[in-house]
Chains A and B, each alone.
Chain A
Amino acid sequence: MIEATGLSKRFGSIEAAKDVSFVARDGEITGMLGANGAGKSTCLRMLYGVLTPDGGKACIDGIDIRGETSKARAHLGVLPHAAGLYNNLTARENIQYFGSLHGMSAQQLNSRTAELSQALGMEAFMERRAKGFSQGQRIKVALARALVHDPGNVVLDEPTNGLDVMAIRNLRDMLLALKQEGRCVLFSSHVMQEVAALCDRVVIIGHGRVLADATVQEIRERSGAATLEEAFLQVLGDPEGVS
């Protein structure tokens, strides 16, 4: 479970996040929807502890990310916006490097890599160097890297960016599988259809604030709009940048 309580962050005169509070539950996919520059990445970065909030608190499974960073991170898998691989390492080496840094033993690494390789369909390119990988292959390796330590919570920052239709479909299946396994999945996106198709709950962010935090159904009912698209637009009040 991921909890954000009153998170705030300023960069100079820009208020990137203001009093952001929400909960992403286990066994659910929570989508963070917002325009480009709405503050999604800033919020997520505070959740996985690479940015220090000016105010508020973020907890992973009840562990404060600021107080016990390493312990909290052990419960968290992260797929940042920029999820580059090491081109001179094979897919397996890329994944195991992160596993080793999580403190896993060689035995744990091997069995976990085998699991992930099968689950994500990576057998064909596990021993190949990442240099010539397609976007789809890259996202798989990056996701496997984030999941190598078997975390209960997964945060993904715009994971579908730059992926083709097939790769997006694959990713969707992977996220649903994570949900089935009872994990807490939190991902950000500026693509409305993506969020609507996949999420149990939606947190809509605009200008660094939470504009709505509800199920897709609730948002539609509350706004009284006929279509989901109109509902989102009403909540946002500022349709620019949301596709």
Chain B
Amino acid sequence: MRPLFVVFAKEFLENLRDRRTLLSALLFGPLFGPILFGLMVSRMLEQSVVESEVPLKLTISGSHYAPGLTQYLKARGVKLTFSELSENEARAAVRAGVYQVVLLVPEEYPQLFAASKPAPLLLFADSADSQTRKIADRARGVLAAYGSTIAQLRLELRGVNPLLSLPVAVNEVDVATPTGRAVVVLGFMTYFVLFALLMGGLYLAIDSTAGERERGSLEALLSLPVARSALVGGKILATCAYMCISLALSLTAFVYVFRFVPLERIGMSANLGLKTALIFFAICLPFVPLGATLMTFVASFTRSYREAQTYLTTVLLVPTLPIAFASIYSLKPTSSLMFIPSLSQHLLMTSVLKDESIRLPDVLVSAAASLALALLLFVLTARHWRRETMLG
């Protein structure tokens, strides 16, 4: 056992002195996710808050043809800008972005309106622009409300009960809990956590294998009376240590960032305190040796630092695949999915975020599956290290 710890201690120390490792393992990896995430979420929240609070702004042309409508819009708090445009001018102005949304009342409007026939209104908007589309949606809603008010008045004038025109009344009931709603947004977070975890060990995995070969220290090391499995084991152990540090830093940063993200303002709450962070750490811990052996295994086959870097960047994307699948098919955590590493961690963390209870057997299966795969990869890596081709 001693050589294992000698190798571990040396790799740990050596990489502690390497600026590149430190930057990626202890700064870039763990902080990139939380910061990007905090900014992203804040921005999204700001936008949704702004949309419901800020009054609707509309440019209206030909308002004198429809004084009633204009009055109604003003009464509903719509900020109107008056302008006189032809149909073509309105089209061009919206396309050029001079106005976001233009409501055009055509000349024939008053006549048809007076005759109780469908009076045309033209609403110009650019549906390719998500901002404009939202304004147009709101404008459509206000206009529809105006339409139904007029319809009801007309029925009443003719002695008909206006309720006849409302055969069904639809009430939407949103069952999402505040935490549940936040999960849609927080779902990304799990990937950032796994990303930070892998980044923590990336450079050490490269440095201790391809780096050792490139420096020319590998052959001397392989000539020592030490079992190859102990050499690889020590290197993987050191990689694991950095990954754990990176994971811990990343979770700490997430806890910290979420204190400043105004989730409550839109009725959401992020279930991410210190306790959740500790649970996350426990859930991700079995994934650490898997990531470390996977990266060391891949890097062992490469001849140079650069080559290893190329392959390992791809490895960084591996945990995204199951997570992407999970989001596309909106997978619910089931026991059989717990056998898939990275996906199981993602599902468990998401459940915790939603404040749902997680079952201990699921956690154990998730851990066992990741550790078993790690062991398999370790055996394969050690076998490769015993080969003559290791000398390069």
- By a beta-carbon cutoff of 8 Å, the part of chain A in contact with chain B is 45, 48-52, 69-71, 73-74, 76, 78-89, 93, 97-98, 100-103, 129, 142, 145-146
Q: Are A86 and B14 in contact (CB under 8 A)?
A: yes
Instruction: Check if B10 sits within 8 Å of A73, measured CB to CB.
Output: no
**Do A98 and B14 touch across chains, with their CB atoms under 8 A apart?**
no
B217 touching A84, Cβ below 8 Å: yes
Given A45-B391, A51-B388, A86-B215, do A80 and B18 touch, yes or no (CB 8 Å)? no
> For residue A69, which residues in chain B have a CB less than 8 angstroms away from its CB?
225
> Out of A50, A74, A84, A145, which one reaches B222, CB within 8 Å?
A50
Chain B residues within 8 Å of A142, by CB: 220
Does B13 interact with chain A (Cβ within 8 Å)?
yes
11 pairs, CB–CB < 8 Å, chain A vs chain B: A49-B223, A50-B223, A51-B388, A73-B225, A78-B220, A80-B219, A80-B220, A81-B219, A83-B216, A84-B216, A101-B6
Query: Do A145 and B391 touch (CB < 8 A)?
Result: no
Give Cα distance in the complex from A83 to B225, angstroms: 17
- Residues on A with C-beta less than 8 A from B18 are 88
For the complex, is B224 an interface residue (Cβ under 8 Å from A)? yes
Give 1 or 0 for each of B12-40: 1 = CB within 8 Å of chain A CB.
Answer: 01110110000000000000000000000
Instruction: State whether the Cβ of B3 lies closer than 8 Å to any Cβ in chain A.
Output: yes
Does B275 interact with chain A (Cβ within 8 Å)? no
Specify which of B14, B220, B222, B388 is in contact with A79 (CB 8 Å cutoff): B220
> Contact between B223 and A48 (Cβ–Cβ < 8 Å)?
yes
Instruction: Answer whether A74 and B225 are a contact pair too, CB < 8 Å, given A80-B220, A100-B6, A101-B3.
Output: yes
Compute how far the CA of A88 lies from the CA of B217 in the bound complex, rounded to whole angstroms.
Answer: 13
Contact B224 A50 (CB under 8 A): no
Residues of B within 8 A of A88 (CB): 14-15, 17-18
Min C-beta distance of B50 to chain A, whole Å: 51
Query: Please, how many residues of chain B have a CB less than 8 angstroms from a CB on the other chain?
Result: 24
Instruction: Verify B391–A50 contact, CB threshold 8 A.
Output: yes
Shortest A76–chain B CB gap in Å is 8
Known contacts A52-B388, A82-B216, A142-B220; 14 further A-B pairs (Cβ under 8 A): A76-B223, A78-B220, A78-B223, A80-B223, A81-B219, A82-B219, A83-B216, A83-B217, A83-B220, A84-B215, A93-B13, A97-B10, A101-B6, A146-B220
Cβ of A101 and Cβ of B226 under 8 Å apart? Answer: yes
Closest beta carbon of chain B to A106's beta carbon, Å: 11
* Contact of B244 with A by CB under 8 A: no
Give the complex CA separation of A98 and B388 in angstroms.
21
What residues of A have a CB within 8 angstroms of the CB of B219 in the complex?
50, 80-82
Are the C-beta atoms of A73 and B223 separated by less than 8 Å?
Answer: yes
Given the known interface contacts A86-B215, A86-B217, the answer about A101 and B14 at a Cβ–Cβ threshold of 8 Å is no
Measured between C-beta atoms, what is the minimum distance from B208 to chain A in Å? 10
Q: Are A89 and B14 in contact (CB under 8 A)?
A: yes
| B338 lies within 8 A of chain A by Cβ | no
Say yes or no: is B2 at the interface (Cβ < 8 Å to chain A).
yes
> With the chains together, A83 CA to B220 CA distance in Å?
7
Closest chain A CB from B6 CB (angstroms)? 4
Distance in angstroms from B323 CB to nearest chain A CB is 35
Q: Which residues of A contact B3 (CB under 8 A)?
A: 100-101, 103
Contact of B13 (CB < 8 Å), options: A70, A80, A82, A89: A89
A79 and B221 CA atoms in complex are apart in Å by 10
Of all chain B residues, the one with the shortest Cβ separation from A81 is B219
Note all chain A residues with C-beta closer than 8 A to B125.
Answer: none
Q: Which 7 A-B residue pairings sit nearest by Cβ, starting from the closest?
A: A84-B216, A82-B216, A70-B225, A80-B219, A73-B225, A84-B215, A84-B217
Check A73 against B224 for contact (C-beta < 8 Å). Answer: yes
Write the nearest CB–CB distance from B214 to chain A, whole angstroms: 8
- The answer to whether the Cβ of B236 comes within 8 Å of any Cβ in the partner chain is no
**A102 vs B2: C-alpha distance in the bound complex, in angstroms?**
10
| Residue numbers in B under 8 Å from A80 (CB-CB) | 216, 219-220, 223
B2 surroundings in chain A (CB, below 8 A): 100, 103
Chain B residues with CB under 8 A of A45? 391
Which B residue sits closest to A48, measured CB to CB? B223
Residues in chain A near residue B221, CB distance under 8 A: 101
Residues of chain B within 8 A (CB-CB) of A93 are 10, 13
Check if B7 is an interface residue, CB within 8 A of chain A.
yes
* A50 CB contacts on chain B under 8 angstroms: 219, 222-223, 388, 391
Closest Cβ of chain A to B234, distance in Å, is 10
* Closest partner residue, chain A, to B231 (CB atom): A101
What residues of B have a CB within 8 angstroms of the CB of A51 in the complex? Answer: 388, 391
Contact A98 B224 (CB under 8 A): yes
Complex contact B17–A101 (CB within 8 A): no
Nearest CB of B to A16, in Å? 12
Once A45-B391, A86-B14 are accepted as A-B contacts, the answer to whether A102 and B225 lie under 8 Å apart by CB is yes
Q: Which residues of B contact A84 (CB under 8 A)?
A: 215-217, 220
Complex interface: chain B residues within 8 A of A83 (CB):
216-217, 220
Q: Which of A52, A70, A74, A85 sits near B217, CB closer than 8 Å?
A: A85
